[in-house]
Amino acid sequence: MAQKMDFGITFKSDMDWKRELKIVQQAEAVGFKYVWSFDSHVLWQAIFPRYALWAYNTKKVHIGPLVTNPAVRDVTVCASDFATLQRISGGRMELGIGRGDSSRRRLGKTPTTMANLEEFVDRFRKLTAGEHIDYDGADVVLTWADSGVPPVWVAGYGPIALRSAGRIGDGVVLQFADPHLIKWCLQFVREGAEEAGRDYSQIKIMACAPVWIGSDLEYARERVRWFPALVSNHVVDLLKRYGKENLPPELVTYVEDRKGYDYLHHAEVGSSNAEFVPDEIVDRYCVIGTIKDHIAKIEELQSLGVHQFNLYLMCGDEEKQVAAYGRYVIPYFNGKKTVRVAKPAAKAAKKAATNGKAKKAASAKKPARASSR
């Protein structure tokens, strides 16, 4: 029997906070379990003030960055923020962490190392548990941190990062919905878990991708084409480290015609950053099409061991996408294995027929008017 499938949404921190909060509450109401946001403090708004709003105004959803990194976040500050938010949320915070992409590059810096990430995670866990750490020779402890250690999700693409996720992560973040590439990634997560003597089955797997619901595939692709362009930044780094021959062609071939990337238009619909991305890659990395198409692809991801499908909610019509998943997709994976999506024409015909019957019945009941003649 396949494991339970959870669903999450991710913002890119550029939305009006009032609208964003309403979407967070909408997502909770229709069955989403997680609400995340990118952490790129120069490009977009700061995350932690908004998390406090989300935590205070919700009851069930889990909240966190997807992802932050050890280079822009001092571990004592980050742990203090999370320990505080654990109190506000009642223990619903979760940490997504990676080496750093846009938040580092907008500062003219490169991503940090996995060694730094692993050290950060170890210290973060100790601090949020109220334990002591050695911080540059000083004994540091958050004596008031009493609301639990947040689960840690490690993001990665290459073998080194993925093995690290298997060694230390409560979960792993995979930024695409390509079943072939997810299968390739998970072999390294398993290797890392085995190296550390951990039970691989206890590690949560998250697949992230933008979605667009609709039968017009050409239009849908243009709403999500920015995403493989975003992924390409990580692919370029992988090529420098591993070489083309050591990576799957589905991951690296499409970046050969890439001319550059402007982070001022990061994760932006219609950006020229995405001009080099072919339709085939869009279809592989993203989830588009009818509701049945979405369900079919997510079922395939589930069969590979994915526990959470996370919608990158930055393509437009955000409330409609959340509503559609809440009405059709989430119920399907929560036990209702049939989905009936009424066609617009059929709905209109049914409504017209209903109205016609109502009018006929009302006419029959209406008393005849007496003649004045």
Cross-strand partners of 310: 8, 208
Tell me the β-bridge partners of 311: 9, 209
Give the residue from 240, 233, 210 showing the smallest Cα distance to 322.
210
Sign of the alpha-carbon torsion through 289, 292, 296, 299: positive
Q: What are phi and psi of 95, to 5 degrees?
A: -105, 120
pLDDT, one tens digit for every residue, the chain (373 residues): 456 899 999 999 999 999 999 999 999 999 999 999 999 888 889 999 999 999 999 999 999 999 999 999 999 999 999 999 999 999 999 999 998 777 666 778 777 899 999 999 999 999 999 999 999 999 999 999 999 999 999 999 999 999 999 999 999 999 999 999 999 999 999 999 999 999 999 999 999 999 999 999 999 999 999 999 999 999 999 999 999 999 999 999 999 999 999 988 999 999 999 999 999 999 999 999 999 999 999 999 999 999 999 999 999 999 999 999 999 999 999 887 665 554 443 344 445 445 554 544 554 444 444 333 3
For residues 214 and 287, what is the distance between their CA atoms, to the nearest angstrom? 11
- The helix or strand, by DSSP H or E, that contains position 312, with its residue range, turns out to be strand 308-312
- DSSP state for residue 145 in the 8-state scheme: -
Q: What is the pTM of this model?
A: 0.88
DSSP of 229-248, one letter per residue? HHHHHHHHHHHHHH-GGGS-
Query: What is the distance between the alpha carbons of residues 343 and 336, in angstroms, rounded to a whole number?
Result: 20
User: For residue 171, which of 25, 306, 333, 303 has the smallest C-alpha distance?
Assistant: 306
Q: Provide the 8-state DSSP code for 315.
A: S
Pairing of strands 138-140, 133-135: antiparallel
- The Cα–Cα gap between 97 and 113 comes to 12
Per DSSP, helices labelled H in the chain are 17-30, 48-56, 75-89, 102-105, 114-128, 159-168, 179-195, 217-224, 226-242, 249-252, 279-285, 291-303, 318-324, 330-333, 344-365
Structural domains for the chain: 6-340 (3.20.20.30)
